[in-house]
Amino acid sequence: MHAQYRPSPFGATLTALLHDSTRARWTLLTDVFGAGKTTAALEASSRGVYTSIFVAASELGRRAQRQGVATIGQEIADTLRIFSVDADSIDGFFVLEEKDEETFTGLAGPVLASLLRSETPDHILVIDGLDENRLYLHPDGLQMLNNQLAELKCPSVLTTRLEHLSSMFGNFEALLEGLGSGRRSATPARLLTLEPWTPDAVHLFVDAARQQANTGEQVALTQFSNALDDGSLAHLYGDLPFHPLFLQFILDDVCSDGLNTRRRTELVGSWVRRKISRDIQHHGALVDRAIDRYETVDGMMLLMEAAAAAMTANGTEIQLTEQIDSRLVEQLSATVFNFEIPISILLLYGLIVPVDFRKRSRLEVRFVLRVVQEYFLACHIKRARLSPDPYPASVQGLVSDLPDESL
């Protein structure tokens, strides 16, 4: 089953579709780049009677040697980390030692699996970003996930980019036929494709932003709305305002610098520079020595490029990895600033966030947004004059969008 859905900021129709598990074992939600599949899935699944379980696909697959509902239940429990040391307490209960964390998390997996295969489910499972996990970039990985989901009775939603789906579309239908061992495996999966926002949806979003803005920002947002109405906005941004992710970048840019012609890479680049500058203003100087703020911003941009370049895996095609050891990021900082900066400081000024709580001396980190990781990788490819051909299509597109004088 394949349908197209044009999202709005309210998404009641999408909620009904995602919550309906009577006609599909699971729903694959995809979109054109930046159309907001993650936000749409999160908001739509959070409405209604079901309790939403939201899981990043990038953190699954560690138990890939086994299949079945018990395995997916345990992987989800591992990902949720509700029994991690230093996690929020649950009804006054909290874990003090790592050995107890492993014990309780191990017990939580089978319990969660039982809940998800209940004949009267009260949960909806969302696995977000299949394209951000190398395991699911190939039919065998999706087949394994399909088998794991086969016996779940709760509504299940998977999200991925349209480019990922398009690269596999030749065998997508074959993938759905006869997979899984559960009795529901004969029930078809459903494919929903999000379309870009309409002008009315953009207006609703801008109106909501205007209510939270200061006087100067309100003026800028009104100018944006007027340009949308008279058609002049298309000459500045093309169709980017109808993609929610880029709409947020554009509005931030408009409130800061007014209406300007912008490419995708210019929007992302200006947004990350403003973020780093704001973090410096909020947290103070990066290091205890005289250093120009603009030099600091440039240095952090170069460090993020180096981190993105390190987060790749070679193969027939070069793929992006989901996370990196913070110790490596610290070492990369020395190549940029001539001395190592602790990860606890870098997290305040960069575009990376922890994946999990620190495990003794080890802390894994990732980029705050996938598009930010791809942007910095594209900058590295352009700066190093590398061929973009071995890289994913999304990265190739950003490389071609980068003007030569931008680096």
Q: What are the extents of the domains in the chain?
A: 2-194, 263-406
pLDDT tens for residues 313-363? 886 678 898 889 999 999 999 999 888 888 888 887 768 888 765 555 678
Instruction: Please tell us whether the domain made up of 2-194 is placed in CATH 3.90.580.
Output: no
**What is this structure's pTM?**
0.69
In this structure, are residues 232 and 44 in contact, taking their beta carbons and an 8 Å threshold? Answer: no
Q: What is the structure's pLDDT at 170?
A: 47
Average pLDDT estimate for 266-284: 84
3-state secondary structure of 199: helix
Q: What are phi and psi of 335, to 5 degrees?
A: -75, -20
Q: How confident is the model at residue 27 (pLDDT cuts 50, 70, 90)?
A: confident
Please say if the pLDDT value at position 399 is more than 90: yes
Least confident range from 4-18, 235-249, 367-381: namely 4-18
Please say if the pLDDT value at position 5 is more than 50: no
CA distance 112 to 133: 23
Please say if the pLDDT value at position 3 is more than 50: no
Q: What is the structure's pLDDT at 379?
A: 95
pLDDT tens for residues 246-262? 888 899 889 988 888 88
E-assigned strand segments in 2-104: 2-5, 27-31, 51-56
Decide the pairing of beta strands 27-31 and 156-161.
parallel
Q: What is the structure's pLDDT at 6?
A: 46
Measured over the CA atoms of residue 76, residue 80, residue 83 and residue 85, the dihedral's sign is positive
**Tokens representing residue 172 in the block:** 């997508």
CA distance 251 to 155: 35
Most confident of 15-24, 25-34, 223-232: 223-232
CA distance 135 to 61: 7
Measured over the CA atoms of residue 144, residue 313, residue 62 and residue 104, the dihedral's sign is negative
In this structure, are residues 1 and 188 in contact, taking their beta carbons and an 8 Å threshold? Answer: yes
For 202, the enclosing helix (H) or strand (E) is helix 199-211
